[in-house]
Amino acid sequence: MADKLYNELLSIVESEVGDQITDSRALDDYGFSRIPGYVGTFPRTRGLEALKQLKRWQCMIINTTDAPGEHWCALYKFHKTLLFYDSFGRSFAELFARRAPRELINTEDDAEQAEVEYNCGARALAWILVCIHGGEKMAEKI
């Protein structure tokens, strides 16, 4: 059920932002106009600082590097937990080489994105929408 909702939302997002490489401007245009609590996209270093400031029901997209165009991941702050999503199924600690915040939970470690796909930005937005429309437990299963 979680994967079905995610795939439906991914189709909707991709119809707006495309299914290829997306920059922060395209992601922010979509996020700020359609996602309540969206605080923006961030390069790695600024994103690691910004996630400390996330309040309940806020979300963000973070790049795995400070250079443009590497890989987009997403975070969503629920009541007491901070969920982290990577479309390749990697953990926060694995990607950012640091201990995760105490309240952080990684989503399932299965990959939704194939190595030959470049739609990580659209996938990050779709996952945030799963958080909103499906809730915390459903979002953890993606």
How does pLDDT run across 108-125, given as a tens digit for each residue? 999 999 999 999 999 999
Residue 99, pLDDT > 80, answer: no
Give the model's pLDDT for residue 139. Answer: 97
Identify the CA nearest to 141 among candidates 133, 132, 131: 131
Nearest CA to 64 out of 81, 50, 77, 47 is that of 47
Q: Which phi-psi region, left, alpha or beta, contains residue 141 (left: φ > 0; alpha: ψ -120 to 50)? A: alpha
Tokens in use for 53?
């400031």
- H helices present in 18-119, as ranges: 24-34, 44-50, 92-96
Mean pLDDT (the chain) is 95
Encoding tokens for residue 24?
A: 């922060």
